[in-house]
Amino acid sequence: MKLSMSDLERYNRQMLMPNWGEEGQLKLKSAKIVVAGAGGLGCPVSLYLAAAGIGRLTVIDREKYELSNLNRQVLGWPKDLGKSKAESSVEKLRAFNPNIDLNALVVNLTENNVHDLIHGSNVVIDALDNWKTRFILNEACVKEKIPLIHAGIYGLSGQITTIYPGKGPCLRCIIPETPPEVKRFPVLGATPGFFAMLQVMEAMKLIIGIGESLIGRLLLFNGEDMNFNSIEINRNPNCTVCKDA
Amino acid sequence: MPRIAIQVFASLREILGFNRLEFETPATTVAQLIDFISVKYKPEFSERLIESKTTHLKKYHKILVNGRDIEFLENLDTRLKDGDEVVFFPPAGGG
């Protein structure tokens, strides 16, 4: 695989970063990322991954856009109401960057299909809105040994970490009991937008091999007073999901 | 009496109506601090954090004392001293 003339120009400003260059950009062009969810996190994540020139981007979401989604799910526009989130967002991404391989999957992520959906990808982004599916994705990523970038939000706050099977704790080590699901949580679009950007940075760093990731750290952010907490998180040696990873 | 600063996130913030507060308290452990906050502000605070039958912390919450997870300290028996900061964090599930 080679970078085209257009690649060299389009991605020039990020290639100027230390240890990025043509080599780093080629790694991105060869990379496959799965974004699970095309909602408040998934839309901005997909948009910025497409902007960065990820080779193959798969967006998974079974739901359709509703009017109340549009304060945060920025790839869903009024013309998309009632249409598939995955397909409508991929349509925009295709117009935005026609030189990457884009794939929309209108399916529910379940224990039965999750391995097929993520197999062969370099990074998976947790852009989901419920714990049940998050733990299915966590377990599958541990088994497939694929890094998973987790984020979750509520109101003006949230958390993010990078799960690297075998190197740091998995989601089950951090949250041993599944929290209760909240159906209609309060949220300003800027909150998932902010966490989505952190997820994209984490994904880029892992693929290119630069910087320090959030493996073994949970970053909490509260937008109400603009306060960050970074806490050390450890593997649970008896974790039912990752103890053998 | 020791002065303790607390920070609360997400749904716990909604229960208490504030996200950050500093107060004097006779509490010397995290368990006592939760009781103190519940009595002084909202009883739901304790109900949300503590399993009523076992009096253990519900395992999907994170409580940090000076940035360290109490799971790796002495859990609810973690001692508190003047000037400590305690963060109550229920992992956020939205996306």
Number of domains in chain B: 1
Range of the domain at B29: 3-89
Q: What ipTM did this prediction achieve?
A: 0.90
Q: pTM here?
A: 0.96
Question: What is d(CA A134, CA B94) in angstroms, rounded to the nearest whole number?
Answer: 11
* Separation in Å, CA of A18 to nearest CA in chain B: 32
Q: Which strand ranges, in their side-by-side order, compose the sheet holding B62-65?
A: B20-24, B3-8, B85-89, B62-65, B68-69
> Confidence band (pLDDT; 50, 70, 90) for B24?
very high
Locus of tokens 């095309």: A38
| CATH class held by domain A31-232 | alpha beta
Has residue B30 been placed in a domain?
Answer: yes
* Residues in chain A closer than 8 A to B59 (CB atoms): 175-177
- What pLDDT sits at residue B15? 95
Please name which of A228, A218, A200, A223 lies closest in space to residue A160, comparing C-alpha atoms.
A218
Strands A217-222 and A227-232: antiparallel
Tell me what the mean pLDDT of segment B37-61 comes to. Answer: 94
Q: Return the CATH number at B26.
A: 3.10.20.30
3-state SS, residue B52: coil
Has residue B95 been placed in a domain?
Answer: no
Per-residue pLDDT tens over the stretch B80-93: 999 999 999 999 99
Has residue B19 been placed in a domain?
Answer: yes
Tell me what the mean pLDDT of segment B40-53 comes to. Answer: 94
- Residue of B21, B60, B66 to mutate, testing the A interface (most A Cβ within 10 Å of its Cβ): B60
Question: What is d(CA A160, CA A138) in angstroms, rounded to the nearest whole number?
Answer: 14
Q: Residues A241, A134: contact at Cβ < 8 Å?
A: no
Residue A68's contacts (CB-CB under 8 Å, 6 or more residues apart) are none
Has residue B94 been placed in a domain?
Answer: no
* Separation in Å, CA of A194 to nearest CA in chain B: 11
* Residues in chain B closer than 8 A to A149 (CB atoms): none
Give the Cα-Cα-Cα angle A67, A69, A70 (nearest 5 degrees): 75
Tell me what the mean pLDDT of segment B38-58 comes to. Answer: 94
| pLDDT tens series, chain A, 245 aa | 999 999 999 999 999 999 999 999 999 999 999 999 999 999 999 999 999 999 999 999 999 999 999 999 999 999 999 999 999 999 999 999 999 999 999 999 999 999 999 999 999 999 999 999 999 999 999 999 999 999 999 999 999 999 999 999 999 999 999 999 998 999 999 999 999 999 999 999 999 999 999 999 999 999 999 999 999 999 999 999 999 98
Tell me what the mean pLDDT of segment B61-79 comes to. Answer: 94
- Residues of B in CB contact (< 8 Å) with A are 7, 9-11, 13-14, 19-20, 58-60, 62, 64, 67-69, 72, 87, 89-95
Has residue B75 been placed in a domain?
Answer: yes
What CA–CA distances, in Å, run from A7 to A2, A18, A76, A92, A208? 9, 18, 27, 19, 16
